[in-house]
A and B are shown apart, each in its own frame.
Chain A
Amino acid sequence: MPVTVRTFGSAGEAASALSSDRTARYFGGGTLVMRALNEGDVSISSIVRANDVALRRIEAAGPRVTIGAGVTFAKILAERDLAFLHAPARSIGGPAVRNMGTVGGNLFAPNPYGDFTVALLALDATVSVQGGFGARDLPIDEFLQSRERQAGNLVLSVSCPRPASSDAFRYRKITRIRPKGASVITLAAHVPMSGGRVLGARLALGSMAPMPIRARAAERALEGRPLDTSTITAAASAITEGTSPVDDALGSAWYRREIIGVHLRRLLSDQE
């Protein structure tokens, strides 16, 4: 069924169009919205696009990086200053999907997708959204909690601090097939060390709940402790707390709960 397509030159105009028509959907890379249209989703009657270079901008030189919502995963992989985000970007789709899918769209990707968002959640990212009343910044966990109500807003960019060292941020996506496959579970850990102890631990999980979640009990098990075997074991035994995985074609809820501690242990102890 034909839909109305409205393309704007600026993100601001597109945001206004979205806020005045709550049934309109923003069309980014197409990997979510065109897929829904191809499946005959009749709830989409109008789509909004923006050809704004600001949405494709990457500011990666400083200690805090900002990535436009329209930046594709291929562009992240081409940016040397974003090396810490290459593992999550590379774990998404095949080359064609990485040329199309965007950072902003990934925030809305339902399970088993949305792996990049798991990484951003572990990095305490901030999401910049523009609604009818101007732009504002939301912590990513707050954004995810209100994700279903963000239809009238346009995501402009995400930003996050650069990890203090390359081994402070770790990422692992478990798939049934390699090199490309949808997530059975996805883990991202930010474990900055200070004086030999973990300070500000963040663990984020994908496919363990309806949307990416923080594993707060396991974070508490890491906080203030050296990253040794007993700490890692304590974190692994707390990792399923607060999770609600589902049975799907990729794995059962039972299986996901069984393996997540194993993969957390491997991730934190640098094992393959």
Chain B
Amino acid sequence: MDIQDFPIIVEKIKKEIAKEIIGLKEITDHVLIAVIAGGNVLLEGVPGLGKTRLVKTLARVLDLNFSRIQFTPDLMPADVVGTNVLVKDEQGNSVFRFQAGPIFSNLVLADEINRATPKTQSALLEAMQEHTVTVGGETRILPEPNFVLATQNPLEQEGTYPLPEAQLDRFLFKLLLDLPSLEELHAIINLTTGISNDTADKAVDAAAILQLRQLALQVPVAKPVQDYALRLVMNTHPHLPDSPEVARQFVRCGSSPRGAQAIIQSAKVRALMEGRYNVSFDDIRNVAYPSLRHRVFLSYHAVSEGKDSDMVISELIEATEE
């Protein structure tokens, strides 16, 4: 694959997704960035906004194995990663054979992830970060590309288990889904309540995704741009001597270095999607929100002031000079 084809391919993917997903343009873009960058995505939104549909469509367009795990409080880790089951072999001997869980797919939809117990949630940790699963002392590699697209409902908090910081940090992006506009809603209704032959088709395959990822890794980042991204991440820490006032006031805990990795990694993909061969400050700013919003933990003061993560990140961006 030629690097000049990168934006063309991405455009093709987006076009196919747009056949089934109305609106959510920015969400789609960010999901694609995460997919190409090889990161996991946490989608947060009220039910019915098309989160599951988006993931399913994405799986079809990217021609990836797709599995969906509906997280419930009684879901066990083995239900996610798989387990060894006793089976008879050809000679009639009883042997343990690994029964792969739904995680062994290219694209895993972890629906309502915050409903599962922390034990089950943590079963995803290794898979998300290392792309491997260890069961019965044996480590198994997950198929590549491998992504976890988790969803969570921000409204229903009863009977949920908020994701621990360590697990949140393993998501490349946290995307917030908003209600569609009236026009979008019209289009959604027309699409879903009528007969439509225009369904999303395969645009690329898994191998192409991996190639796109390799190309994205080559995108150069100028020193001032990288410096800007890193300073932005550093500025999320309230206890550092040079941290801005907004961080001191509203941030309880800043981003880990994974936040910086996420920003640079995803900014490279965005640059290529824009047809550029270098990362710009705009790329950094664009991906800073989904990369940092689940890594910046707000203080009680921020909550009492009605600030959300995006507001604080916006102020942090303003406080960081190019």
Chain A bound to chain B? no
